[in-house]
DNA sequence: CTCCTTCTCCGTACCACATACACTGTATTC
DNA sequence: GAATACAGTGTATGTGGTACGGAGAAGGAG
C-alpha cells in the first residue's frame, strides 16, 4: 500500500513524529492560516511562498518542510478555509440539503479565491470530506443508491459554485471583465450583439435581465435554482419509494 | 462610451485596419489555433508565450501585437476552442436544452484545459455568447422571465462543467489526486475515513459507489443529473403556464 | 559529559517565464 | 523620393518557484 501524499497525511494529523533534531517551529495550520489571511486580503495572486513565509517570520524555504510544493499549499488551504458543514438536526433530507447548499455557496462567495482552486481539487481534507459525508448521510434512507447520492451531491456542489461565481462576478471582485463588474459587462454585450445573430440574448439585455442587483442574486435567484434542483431530486425519491 | 478591450474587438473582427506600414503577418485566429494545439497536446502548462510563438515561427514579442497579455490569449482561446452550439431544429425547449448541455459537457471533456480557464471567464466571444443565446432563445415562449432564463442557463452550464470535471478526474488526466485517478483516490479515502466521523461516506465507499467505470459516468450518470434539472425546470414552466 | 546522528531551517543560487523598451526595416502617403 | 506610422525582433528585467548544501539544535550512545 502506497504512502499517503505528505500534505494529506499532515492535514489528517498522520505525520510521523521524529525524535531527533530540533522541534518543528511551525504547524501546517499556521502556514495555511497565514496563506489564507493573505488570500483574503490580496487575492490568490498575493499568495507567494515568499509572502506567506514573511507573514510567519520564517524563510521562504522553511515552508518546504511542510509542503512539497505550492500546489500542496493550495490544497491544504482549501480544506482549512472551509467551515464545518451545517448540522443535520432534525431536518428532512430536503431541508438539510437546502441548508448545505446555501452554506456551501456562502463560504465560497465570502472567499472568492476558493473559486479558482476548489473546483479543480477533489476533496481530500477532513473538513471538505465532512461536507461530502454530511450530504451522503442526509440522503441515507431515501431509497437512492449510493452512486446516485454521490451524483446528487456533486450536482448541488456545482450549483453552489456556479451561484458563488455569479455573485462574485456581479460585484466585480474576481475579474474586471469589461471595466467595472456587471455594468461594464452588459454595456459591452450590448455593443457586440445584434438581434439577428443573437435574438435571445438581445431580448434578455433589453429586458434588463442582466442588470439585476447583486442582493437579488444573493437570495431569490439562488433559491429559485435550488428549488429547481431539489424538486428534481424529490421527484426521483418519490419514484423510488413507490417503485 | 469606453473602447472595447482590444482582444474582444479583435475576436469580433472589429479591429481598425491601419493603412501605413507593413501588413500584419498573423491573425488572432492563427495564434489561438496554435495555442490550442499546444494545450491539447501538452496541457495548459505547455502554453507559454514563447512556445506559441515558436509554433508560428515568430518571436515571442510578436504576439503582443495581437494580445495585450497572456490572459488575453487565454480568453481568446476559450472562444476559439468552443464549437458551435447545436441547432434547435424543431426540438422542444426541453429537448434542446438537453442536447445543449450534453454538447457543452462533451467539448469541455474533450479539452480538459478548458476547465481551468472557462469557468472563470465570462463569455465575451462570438461563439461562447452564441451558446448563451441559443439557450435563452430556446426558453423564449415558455413564460419564464429573461432573468430566470439566464439563471437556468448558468445552472445548466455549471452542471456541464461539473460533469466534465468529474469525467476528467476519473480518467486521471487532469490531476494526480492520489496516484492514479479514481482508484488511487478511493484507496486513499478508504484509509483516511472512519465510520464514526464519516458514516455516509464510509457506506458509499463500501458499496463501491466511487468505483464506477468512466463510461458509466459518461452517460447514465450524466443523464441522471440532467433529468433532475430539467424536471425541476419543467415543473416551473408548468406552474407559470397555469398561474 | 561528549560525540554523533538526525533533523530543522536558512542563504544562495538557478531557472522558467511574462513582459518593457528601444530598434530595424517596410509599406504607404504626400 | 522623403516622411511617417507601424509590424516584428533582440535584449533586458523582474518575479516567483524550487534545488542544493550548510549550520546549528536536540536527543541518543558511549
Asked if the model's pLDDT at residue A35 lies above 60, the reply is yes
Using CA atoms, how far apart are residues B40 and B173, in angstroms rounded to an integer?
Answer: 12
CA angle A61, A63, A64 (to 5 degrees): 75
Q: What are the b/e assignments for B211-231, b being 16+ CB within 10 Å? A: ebebeebbeebbebbbebbbb
Determine the pLDDT at residue B1: 58
As given in the structure block, the three cell numbers for residue B215 are 463510461
Based on the domain organization, do A129 and A225 belong to the same domain? Answer: yes
Based on the domain organization, do A77 and A98 belong to the same domain? Answer: no
Residue A1: inside a domain = no
Determine the pLDDT at residue B218: 61
Q: Which domain holds residue B229?
A: 93-175+212-242
Residue B88: inside a domain = no
For the segment A212-237, what is each residue's pLDDT rounded down to a tens digit?
655 555 688 789 889 888 988 998 89
Beta strands in B112-221 (DSSP E): none
Q: Can you tell me whether residue B104 is helix, strand or coil? A: helix
Mean pLDDT of A140-168: 89
Q: Last residue of some domain: A14, A49, A81?
A: A81
- Cβ–Cβ of B204/A230 closer than 8 Å? no
Contact B103, B164 (CB under 8 A): no
Average pLDDT of chain B is 89
Based on the domain organization, do B217 and B127 belong to the same domain? Answer: yes
Residue A88: pLDDT band (50, 70, 90) is very high
- Cβ–Cβ of A174/B148 closer than 8 Å? no
Asked if the model's pLDDT at residue B176 lies above 60, the reply is no
Determine the pLDDT at residue A37: 98
- Cβ–Cβ of A192/B150 closer than 8 Å? no
Asked if the model's pLDDT at residue A126 lies above 70, the reply is yes
* B62 C-beta less than 7 Å away from strand D: yes
Residue A195: inside a domain = no
Mean pLDDT of B66-80: 97
Residue B181: inside a domain = no
Asked if the model's pLDDT at residue A175 lies above 50, the reply is no
Phi and psi based region of residue A100 (left: phi greater than 0; alpha: psi -120 to 50; beta: remaining): alpha
Shortest Cα distance, chain A CAs vs residue B22, angstroms? 29
Q: What is the DSSP secondary-structure string of A63-81?
A: GGGT-SSHHHHHHHHHHHH
Asked if the model's pLDDT at residue B177 lies above 50, the reply is no
Mean pLDDT of B100-122: 92
CATH number, domain of A164, equals: 1.10.357.10
Residue B18: inside a domain = yes
Mean pLDDT of B221-235: 88
Based on the domain organization, do B59 and B145 belong to the same domain? Answer: no
Residue A206: inside a domain = no
Based on the domain organization, do B110 and B61 belong to the same domain? Answer: no
Using CA atoms, how far apart are residues A163 and B27, in angstroms rounded to an integer?
Answer: 36
Out of A208, A212, A229, the one facing B229 most closely (by C-beta) is A229
pLDDT: which is higher, B86 or B225: B86
Average pLDDT of chain A is 88
Asked if the model's pLDDT at residue B48 lies above 60, the reply is yes
* Of A101-115, A174-188, A214-228, the least confident: A174-188
Based on the domain organization, do B129 and B171 belong to the same domain? Answer: yes
Q: What are phi and psi for residue B97, nearest 5 degrees? A: -65, -30
- Cβ–Cβ of A200/B162 closer than 8 Å? no
Based on the domain organization, do B13 and B106 belong to the same domain? Answer: no
Asked if the model's pLDDT at residue A210 lies above 60, the reply is yes
Strand D neighbours among B 16-55, CB < 7 A: 18, 20-26
Residue B225: pLDDT band (50, 70, 90) is confident
Taking contacts as CB-CB distances below 8 angstroms, the residues of chain B near A129 are 189, 192-193, 198, 201
Based on the domain organization, do B103 and B159 belong to the same domain? Answer: yes
Taking contacts as CB-CB distances below 8 angstroms, the residues of chain A near B221 are 147, 151
Using CA atoms, how far apart are residues B7 and A178, in angstroms rounded to an integer?
Answer: 11
Determine the pLDDT at residue A228: 84
For the segment B6-25, what is each residue's pLDDT rounded down to a tens digit?
899 999 998 877 778 888 99
Shortest Cα distance, chain B CAs vs residue A126, angstroms? 8
Q: Last residue of some domain: A28, A55, A81?
A: A81
* Of A165-169, B145-149, B156-160, the least confident: A165-169
In terms of CA atoms, which chain A residue is nearest residue B9? Answer: A192
Out of B130, B187, B204, the one facing A198 most closely (by C-beta) is B130
- Domain count for chain A, please give it: 2
Q: Hey, of A1, A79, A121, A225, which one would you mutate to test binding to chain B, going by the most B CBs within 10 A of its CB?
A: A225
Based on the domain organization, do A149 and A102 belong to the same domain? Answer: yes
Based on the domain organization, do B13 and B66 belong to the same domain? Answer: yes
- Cβ–Cβ of A177/B124 closer than 8 Å? yes
* B59 C-beta less than 7 Å away from strand D: yes
Mean pLDDT of B90-112: 96
Residue A236: inside a domain = yes
Determine the pLDDT at residue A218: 61
Q: Last residue of some domain: B41, B56, B81?
A: B81
Based on the domain organization, do A127 and A53 belong to the same domain? Answer: no
- H-type alpha helices, chain B: 6-11, 28-42, 49-56, 70-81, 93-110, 114-117, 126-139, 146-170, 181-192, 199-206, 214-216, 222-242
Cβ neighbours, 10 Å, residue A168: 23
Residue A225: inside a domain = yes
pLDDT: which is higher, B121 or B10: B10
Shortest Cα distance, chain A CAs vs residue B146, angstroms? 5
Asked if the model's pLDDT at residue B215 lies above 70, the reply is no
Determine the pLDDT at residue B120: 77
Out of B154, B188, B199, the one facing A8 most closely (by C-beta) is B188
Q: Which positions of chain C lie under 7 Å from any protein Cβ?
A: 5-12, 16-22, 25-29
Based on the domain organization, do B121 and B238 belong to the same domain? Answer: yes
Determine the pLDDT at residue B32: 98
CATH number, domain of B76, equals: 1.10.10.60
Amino acid at each position: 500500500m502506497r504512502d499517503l501524499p505528505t500534505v494529506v497525511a499532515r492535514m489528517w494529523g498522520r505525520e510521523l513524529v521524529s525524535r531527533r533534531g530540533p522541534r518543528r517551529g511551525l504547524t501546517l495550520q499556521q502556514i495555511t492560516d497565514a496563506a489564507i489571511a493573505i488570500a483574503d486580503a490580496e487575492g490568490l495572486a498575493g499568495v507567494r511562498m515568499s509572502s506567506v513565509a514573511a507573514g510567519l517570520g520564517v524563510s521562504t524555504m522553511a515552508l518546504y518542510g511542510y509542503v512539497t510544493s505550492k500546489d500542496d499549499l493550495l490544497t491544504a488551504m482549501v480544506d482549512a478555509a472551509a467551515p464545518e458543514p451545517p448540522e443535520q438536526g432534525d431536518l428532512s433530507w430536503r431541508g438539510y440539503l437546502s441548508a448545505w447548499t446555501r452554506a456551501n455557496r456562502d463560504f465560497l462567495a465570502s472567499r472568492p479565491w476558493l473559486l479558482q482552486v476548489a473546483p479543480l481539487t477533489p476533496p481530500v481534507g477532513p473538513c471538505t470530506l465532512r461536507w461530502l459525508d454530511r450530504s451522503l448521510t442526509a440522503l441515507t434512507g431515501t431509497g437512492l443508491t449510493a452512486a446516485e447520492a454521490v451524483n446528487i451531491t456533486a450536482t448541488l456542489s456545482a450549483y453552489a459554485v456556479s451561484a458563488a461565481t455569479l455573485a462574485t462576478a456581479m460585484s466585480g471582485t474576481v475579474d474586471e471583465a469589461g471595466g467595472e463588474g456587471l455594468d461594464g459587462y452588459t454595456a459591452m454585450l450590448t455593443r457586440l450583439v445584434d438581434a439577428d445573430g443573437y435574438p435571445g440574448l438581445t431580448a434578455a439585455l433589453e429586458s434588463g435581465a442582466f442588470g439585476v442587483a447583486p442582493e437579488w442574486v444573493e437570495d431569490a435567484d439562488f433559491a429559485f435554482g435550488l428549488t429547481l434542483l431539489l424538486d428534481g431530486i424529490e421527484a426521483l425519491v418519490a419514484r423510488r419509494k413507490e417503485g
